[in-house]
Structure 1
Amino acid sequence: MSRTKKILLAILIVLIVIQFIQPTRNTSGQVLQTDIVNMYNVPQSIQAVFENACYDCHSNNTRYPWYANVQPMGWLLARHVKEGKDELNFSEFGSYSSRRQANKLRAIENSVKDGTMPLSSYLLLHKDARLTETYKAEIISWVRRTRDSLTQNK
């Protein structure tokens, strides 16, 4: 067997073996009391946008695409979701201090305004997560009102 065939066979074996090493899934299957939609009056339209464009990376309930079962894509997705939840977790938003909630709301406003969220890499495969100008305006308005109510209640 030639050297090239041996290398290709080794790569194939590694690719097959790594398929059995699956990352832990981020699916609790429940909406916690600390979820932002349980803590604040989130209009249905904004809640739908959050669930469609944000919750996969920023909650305890990720909807996994088929390619999450193929390694190393599953590992990359798991890391991406962990980083997203470390930055902001809508499922645990109510457990944040009032100050942290206000800061996170400000970050949401800025991310929506400057178009850094949802990530362009996410939008490549999730066309329905694109935010229209109308949705952006609604989210920004709601975030500002909610943040203002937080600072007034101090």
Structure 2
Amino acid sequence: MKPIIKKGAILSVVLFLLMQLYQPARNVEYGQVSPMHFTKLYKVPAKVQGILQTSCFDCHSNNTKYPWYSYVQPVRIFMDSHINEGKENLNFSEFGTYSKRKQRSKLDRMIKQIKSDEMPLASYTMMHKNAVLTSESKAMLLNWIEETKDSISANN
């Protein structure tokens, strides 16, 4: 091996190892569910809650279940950027802080994204096969979201 390639390889390994020292705070509220959480505000059937938990909450709540590979950089940086972006768009843990109009808008957007298979993201379902929405789970979720959206409209 040429000396320049060997030095480059060593430098790459050292940089990779140094990157592992960076471990930012995790998106986890240990055992806590905020009173503003979606499931505290609306009656969510167990099956629907299971679908949301499996397919949505990791990126769209304040409580992510991290897999083992989240301890490896730069994977963690990539994951954190997705989680932060997901929470900016919709955060189930803070759903009660949204106005009723915004809640209905968020539910409308969920319906559109689920119908068009935009959510959950392919990059997420690739590693989390159980998060893929089957036609049955999709129908159940969409029906429940429609009912919830209608109940918000009726209560205004």
TM-score by shorter chain over 0.5: yes
Matched residue type, 2:97: S
Q: Shift of the alpha carbon at 1:23?
A: 2.0
Q: How far apart in 2 are the matches of 1:6 and 1:78?
A: 32
Aligned to 1:2: 3
Runs of 4+ in 1 over 6 A off after TM superposition: none
Q: How far apart in 2 are the matches of 1:68 and 1:19?
A: 11
Are residues 1:39 and 2:3 paired? no
- The normalised TM-score by structure 2 is 0.96
Q: How far apart in 2 are the matches of 1:80 and 1:24?
A: 15
Contact persistence 1:24–1:78 (CA under 8 A): no
Aligned to 2:27: 26
Query: Percent identity over the alignment?
Result: 41
Q: Shift of the alpha carbon at 1:66?
A: 0.7
Q: How far apart in 1 are the matches of 2:113 and 2:44?
A: 18
Aligned to 1:141: 143
Q: Shift of the alpha carbon at 1:55?
A: 0.5
Matched residue type, 2:68: W
Q: How far apart in 2 are the matches of 1:80 and 1:49?
A: 19
Paired residues, number: 154
Matched residue type, 2:11: A
Q: Shift of the alpha carbon at 1:139?
A: 1.0
Are residues 1:90 and 2:128 paired? no
Q: How far apart in 2 are the matches of 1:17 and 1:137?
A: 47
Contact persistence 1:23–1:78 (CA under 8 A): no
In the alignment, structure 1 segments of 5+ residues that lack a partner are none
Matched residue type, 1:19: Q
- The normalised TM-score by structure 1 is 0.97
Q: Shift of the alpha carbon at 1:109?
A: 0.8
Q: How far apart in 2 are the matches of 1:78 and 1:63?
A: 12
Aligned to 1:103: 105
RMSD: 0.9
The 3-state SS of whatever aligns with 2:56 is helix
Q: How far apart in 2 are the matches of 1:55 and 1:149?
A: 22
Q: How far apart in 1 are the matches of 2:132 and 2:144?
A: 18
Q: How far apart in 1 are the matches of 2:43 and 2:85?
A: 27
Aligned to 2:13: 12
In the alignment, which of 122, 126, 130 is matched to residue 124 of structure 1? 126
Q: Shift of the alpha carbon at 1:134?
A: 1.1
